[in-house]
């Protein structure tokens, strides 16, 4: 939002640069970098495993979550900025400003109308994370579906590979369904089933 509102200024350049860096970094590479810096050099976080108890589990899962989040945030920043810039250039924003609507009110209208592309990006992020967790789990030695999939492929356990592929397919279909439902909630012009009135 700051990048779209302050287009061409230092804040916008910082947002764009950060988004490109985050989007370009693969999760497993970010995970390795986080392990080297925060686990090996600084010793703030453990190198591998899941830990015992809630506090230790959160501590163990912080670096894997950060590794997955870097790319997700980069994609959401890029999509959100582009969608909001497009909406701020629309005629209804000019008319709202001409009628004396405050900057926050105009921004609220523009944000609501830019939600459809942002929801699309969020769906892509979630489905990408489902695939990206495989490498992140292996990087941080976490037991999970990704590690199970890698082990099943290594040991040629075809039924488990098929079951996990089916599960991931169902999860991706569920995410896409939720995104489609979100379209109808974000934009009243989008209707689920039937004809628009």
Ordered mean pLDDT values, 10 residues apiece, the chain (197 residues): 78 82 82 86 80 82 86 83 84 81 79 82 81 78 80 89 88 85 76 57
Determine the pLDDT at residue 159.
92
- DSSP secondary structure string, the chain? -HHHHTTTSHHHHHHHHHHHHHHHS-HHHHHHHHIIIIIIIS--S-SSS--SHHHHHHHHHHHHHHHHHHHHHHHHHHHHHHHHHHHHTSHHHHHHHHTT--HHHHHHHHHHHTHHHHHHHHHHHHHHHHHHHHHHHHHTT--SHHHHHHHHHHTT-HHHHHHHHHHHHHHHHHHHHHHHHHHHHH-TT--SSS---
Determine the pLDDT at residue 195.
56
Determine the pLDDT at residue 191.
67
**Predicted confidence (pLDDT) per residue in 40-88, tens digit:** 888 888 887 777 888 888 888 888 888 888 878 888 888 888 888 888 8
Tell me if the pTM is above 0.85.
no
């Amino acid at each position: 939002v700051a990048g779209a509102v302050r287009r061409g200024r230092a804040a916008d350049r910082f947002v764009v640069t950060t988004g490109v860096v985050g989007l370009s970094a693969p999760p497993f590479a970010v995970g390795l970098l986080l392990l080297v810096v925060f686990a090996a050099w600084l010793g703030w976080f453990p190198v591998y495993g899941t830990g015992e108890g809630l506090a230790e589990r959160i501590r163990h899962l912080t670096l894997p979550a950060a590794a997955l989040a870097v790319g997700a945030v980069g994609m959401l920043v890029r999509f959100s900025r582009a969608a909001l810039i497009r909406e701020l250039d629309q005629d209804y924003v000019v008319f709202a400003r001409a009628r004396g609507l405050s900057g926050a009110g105009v921004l609220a209208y523009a944000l609501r109308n830019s939600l459809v592309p942002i929801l699309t990006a969020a769906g892509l992020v979630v489905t990408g994370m489902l695939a990206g967790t495989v490498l992140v789990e292996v990087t941080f030695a976490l037991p999970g579906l990704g590690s199970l999939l890698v082990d099943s492929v290594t040991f040629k356990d075809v039924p488990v590979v098929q079951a996990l592929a089916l599960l991931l397919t169902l999860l991706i279909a569920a995410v896409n369904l939720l995104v489609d439902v979100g379209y109808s909630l974000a934009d009243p012009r989008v209707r689920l089933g039937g004809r628009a009135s």
